[in-house]
Structure 1
Amino acid sequence: YCERDERTLFRGLSFTVEAGEWVQVTGGNGAGKTTLLRLLTGLARPDGGEVYWQGEPLRRVRDSFHRSLLWIGHQPGIKTRLTARENLHFFHPGDGARLPEALAQAGLAGFEDVPVAQLSAGQQRRVALARLWLTRAALWVLDEPFTAIDVNGVARLTRRMAAHTAQGGMVILTTHQPLPGAADTV
């Protein structure tokens, strides 16, 4: 269970995410969606109960879990003084040859070498989300990935997530935007 400011956000919550599944967490502002994702990623601890990864308590397999995880929070987690390319290189230093394609797939062709501080909010979000085209992580946990993203960008990202789950990956995300038919579980 989880409490915040003496208010119970959830109790008795139990679910499993299997390979190839996409879970969409919905709810109003302040309902606890981000808190749930933080618990699932090990960034916060539940007030009671356990989070498991591959049948083991997360606290026991934290290192192997983090190698299997891509977490992108509602804050983009990018360096505004760096360019889009430099930001991706920071997270994926061995993938230099793949960076231009990842940026193009994220809709940033032509903006690779522009300092992130000069990009729009949607473009900055796309810089963070370009990691979806580089990561080898099995589990993607994404908090409000579509914030500031236009309709074409949402479609592009939705296709990428669908491809990831079709290859046996898992996606857990929060969103206020309806994605009819995209998620296995809402």
Structure 2
Amino acid sequence: MFQDLTFSVESGTALVVTGANGIGKSSLLRTLAGLVALTSGTIRLDGADEDKPPHEFAHYFGHQDAVKPALSVLENLGFWQSFAAPAEAESYLAQTMTPIGALDLLGIGHTAHLPTAYLSAGQKRRLSLARLLVTARPIWLMDEPTSALDKASEQQLLDLMDRHLAGGGLIVTATHTKLALARTQALHLEAQPVAASIAEDD
């Protein structure tokens, strides 16, 4: 549970969330993604349709790859395109890619017609990333985004994140590693001190 947590992020900026293991970084992202309900407080996205909750303008890129192993790579992307219909804020300018274009860019175009179950861990991670490129949403919520990526793929991811920011998007990412992005701000989560008292019997 979070207490006294307030922050704002401007378009074109990545908010990098840090803190010890178990402090709540992933829980914060899942709350922003609408996967965990707020008990109090508000989340607001300026410039968006006020009739839609903010999480409808966000992509969530978590620890799990969120792909269906029995479907082909292209079928997975087609499913996510239909599920995550575009929800764009007024200030968001990014263009989407075709599924094949996204796969080619990420170096897995040759897997397009394979069942996803045949992909390696790194390839599944890149397929999960491709979901962000085929449907435009201004907010990327990314939990340890460089996990399971080799150095070349990690740099490519950072380039894509910078391009998303340059298009007016924003990113909230939880990470233990330094991310070399063009424009960042930091949010460090810390545990509240616990007061304890001991009563002694006479």
TM-score class normalised by the smaller sequence:
0.7 to 0.9
Q: 1:73 aligns with which of 47, 62, 82?
A: 62
2:126 corresponds to 1:126: yes
SS at 1:92 equivalent: helix
Shift of 1:55: 8.4
| 2:104 corresponds to 1:112 | no
**Within 5 Å, which residues of 2 pair with 1:1-186?**
2=1, 10-54=2-46, 61=50, 63=52, 65-93=54-82, 98-186=98-186
Q: How big is the shift at 1:46?
A: 3.4
Provide the C-alpha distance between the structure 1 equivalents of 2:180 and 2:20, rounded to a whole number of angstroms: 18
Could you tell me the TM-score, scaled by structure 2's length?
A: 0.77
Which 10-residue stretch deviates more, 121-130 or 40-49? 40-49
* 1:33-54: CA deviation from partner (whole Å, max 9, x where unpaired): 1101112222212343222222
Runs of at least 4 residues off by over 4 Å: none
Q: AA paired with 1:26?
A: T
Instruction: Give the number of the structure with larger relative contact order, counting CA–CA contacts within 8 Å between residues 6 or more apart.
Output: 2
Q: 1:63, 1:100 → 2: CA distance?
A: 30
Task: Measure the CA separation in 1 of the matches of 2:183 and 2:53.
Answer: 26
Structural RMSD (CA)? 2.3
Q: Percent identity over the alignment?
A: 37
Q: Evaluate the alpha carbon distance shift between residue 51 and residue 65 of structure 1 in structure 2; reply closer, same or farther with a 3 A threshold.
A: closer
Deviation, 1:181, is 4.6
TM superposition shift of 1:64: 5.2
Give the distance between the partners of 1:119 and 1:183, measured in 2 at CA: 33
Secondary structure in 1 matching 2:98: helix
Structure 2 spans left out of the alignment, 5+ residues: 86-96, 187-202
Larger-gyration structure (1/2): 2
**Structure 1 unmatched runs, 5+:** 3-9
* Structure 1: distance between partners of 2:70 and 2:140: 26
Structure 1 length-normalised TM: 0.83
Aligned to 2:111, what secondary structure does the other structure show?
Answer: coil
Q: Are residues 181 and 168 of structure 1, via their aligned partners in 2, closer, same or farther at CA, if it must alter by over 3 Å?
A: closer
TM-aligned CA distance change 1:87 to 1:43, over 3 Å: same
